[in-house]
Structure 1
Amino acid sequence: MDLEAVRTYLAVAEAGQFQKAAADLAVTQQAVSKRIAALERDLGVRLFARTPRGAETTIDGQAFLPHARELLRVAERAVASVHTARRPLRVDVINLRGAASGLLRGFHRTRPEIELDVVKLLDIDEAIDAIRAGTIDASFRAVGTPGRPLPDDLASVRVIDEKLELLTGPGHVLAGARAVTPGELVGHRIWMPGILPGSEWAAYYDDLVAEFGLTIEATGPNFGSDALLDTIADTPALATFMSDGTRLVWPAGHDLRRIPLTDPTPVYPHSLVWHRDNPHPALAALRAHLAAAGTVQDAPGTWVPGWARRA
């Protein structure tokens, strides 16, 4: 479909006259008439009825009006998508309430003039595909899982280690502890619904289980964090893992306990991943902010899987 003909149709519909539309578009009235006639042939309908006062949209013309406007909006977005300075910086995070999101909020506070689009993709494979396709500019992911190397055209840097905590209800046997070690969790049921088999976070928890002999149950449907908190509050036999960077609010009656893990402290490693040839001017600014704001990696007393250290 000829977008100039669509643009001309909208100009006539708004002006109510071919002559006024021609002046608005800086073309001749004959050019306007030819474009409208060509568009009507393409669509197989009449878009305007001539009247003594000018041109009025027909029923078909009225039906086409919102779609014509959307066609031009889509065209503008398509052009903007390849002009990086004119579109938002698009960044993927694994958890909208976690530490990576907190880093992005800090970046937005210090650089409010940079427009951000924050998205949440399923796993690292989907994120890699999106980065290579150009639909996102960067992603926060755990990099280095066995058998899943980054493609050569992508780069990454580890930016933050997110400490794990134990979350229990008031009736749990460990609810009164000021801190617990991973070894003290052996035999306790850790409930984490929603772990996606094959994802990078599933690989992380598989290694955590193997290292410390833990029992993590991913059974049952994942109804979101609110349902998870309700279950943990009401079930003394269950606990779950939560990162210290995750911001959650729950009813006062839940009386949930966030208990630090120590000796060692398991941490979840977040890396920023991007395409080496990405020209977006805000990407360098984000990387500089993360370099200044991120935490020390592999700090004494912490644990990450071996693949994360090698990466």
Structure 2
Amino acid sequence: MDERLFLIVGYDGAELLDIACVTSALHIANRIGATPPYRTVLATLGQAALSCDSGLRLEAQAVLERVNEPLDTLLVAGGLGHERAAGNPYLVSHVRRLAPLARRVAAVCTGATVLAEAGLLTERRATTHWMYADRLAERYPKVLVDPDPIYIRDGCVSTSGGVTSALDLTLAFIEEDNGPAMARGVALGTVAYLQRPGGQSQISMFLARRSSDDFVVRRTTDHIAAHLSGDLTTGTLARRAGVSERHLSRLFLTYVHQTPAQYVRRARTEAAAHLLTNTELPLSAVARRCGFGSTESLRQAFLDRYDVPPSRYRTAAALGS
């Protein structure tokens, strides 16, 4: 194989970052020795220039209707124009036609809508930008939508979350093709803080926790974040908030869609993930600082949340995978 042909399907209203994260990462991979090299091609219907969400225009390099050669990767970009693109039967039919020619098929962000319309996500786990996940699930009930992960790989079909998660998915492809050292080199080249594991949440709860409109919930989640190693049982939290356990649980289910205990466990797990990727603390110290009673309870929380034990999560982060 002389090259890996990476075909990106674009349309008016595509998000520039959805495209640029992919092409820039692959370009850096080529510069540091990807073998065989990647050839990225932006294809549109009729090879028409596309207007991005930001207003910038991109020139296409190929006529989508005329692409017939084997592909390494077929990737559909996301963007505000995704529903209009999914409603274009010509674009969707060519995506469907090209899928069997590709070793792997992918979508970035809301590009998942086009794959779903083409029937390529039926009975598969898939993700998309968290803001559009409910819409995708409602419109395509046979797609197993999970709005949480950075990206999901189900067989030969991959989908990613919003915007910059395109970089995470592309780094995962580079690792698959060229190994973890190459992926880490590309991550360093893009000055990415860390190549995030696919199972990591699109939105950290520590960024989202202040979005609640309820004062009791805000005050309680602030307390949880500041006292992870303390007594955070529902009874203790309810007494501190001056409400009954039942009322606190009802408020949490209404405003954060989790019970207090579920929220505490997730907060502790996310905090532990941060310590594992940013410190050299032993697992026992991480467990203690984050309020887990033992390394075994920390391990079980990671298996439930990230599908990997904490030691493997740390190793993957260190390798940039």
Q: Which has the larger radius of gyration?
A: 1
Higher relative CO (Cα under 8 Å, sequence separation at least 6) belongs to: 1
TM-score category (smaller protein) = under 0.3
Provide TM-score, normalisation by structure 2. Answer: 0.24
Which has the larger helix fraction?
2
Using structure 1 for the length normalisation, give the TM-score.
Answer: 0.25
